[in-house]
Structure formats: structure tokens, C-alpha cells
Amino acid sequence: MSLTYEIKHRNMIVRLDAEIDHHKAEEIRDRLDQLIAMNSIKVLIFDFSNTVFMDSSGIGVIMGRYKKMKQMGGDVGLINVNSNIQRVLKLSGIYRLVKNYESVQDAIKRLV
């Protein structure tokens, strides 16, 4: 897994793997849930700048984190989503709940 993250004031920015499929999704989910719990994260930003491939397993990961964060009064945002991945996300209707942002700053400003 090549997931890297950065935490600032309970905001976590996670740079995801190059390919997100079912095989990777399980690892990503477990790692994220651990990081969220350990650091009492309030805002989770998924950074797709390294990600070239994502199938519907990725929707599951984002939705799952969204529900979790909302329950705890937190929120979720996305940055650097390429057009192919946007097409997958659009199909699912997830954009009604979770949005793309211009930058980390932009996301944090609007979500916190």
C-alpha cells in the first residue's frame, strides 16, 4: 500500500494509492479507520493526485468514511480527482454528499 497522510489540527489529508480496486480497498479502509480513531480526525480529505485508476470499490470506501465522519460530527472532501475517476463518482450520486475542492486550503476552509 502506498497511502501517505498528513495531519494538522484534526484535519487529515490522505494521498491514496495509484490504483484503487477491491483488493486495495480493504487495506485502505482498515488503515483509514485506524488513523481516524487514533487521531480523533474531524475533517478527512482524500487526495487523488497519485491515483490513476478507481472502480466502484472506491465509492464504497468514500461512502463508508463519509458515514463514519458524519456520525462523529466530521466531514469528508476530495481533491485532485482526475476526469476518469470523476465519471465513476458521478454515476454513484456521491457528489450530493461529498464534493471536489480546488485545494487542501479550500477544502479545509469550507468543511471545518
Residue of 10, 29, 31, 42 interacting with another protein (CB under 8 A): 29
User: Which region among 4-12, 15-23, 42-50, 95-103 touches another protein (by CB under 8 A)?
Assistant: 15-23
* Contact mark string toward another protein, 37..66, x via CB under 8 A: ----------------xxxxx-xxx-xx--
How far apart CA 62 and CA 30 sit, in angstroms, is: 13
Torsion of CA 22, 53, 101, 40, to 10 degrees: 30
Residues in the interface with another protein (CB under 8 A) total: 23
Q: What residue ranges bind another protein (CB under 8 A)?
A: 19, 21-23, 25-26, 29, 53-57, 59-61, 63-64, 83-84, 87-88, 91-92
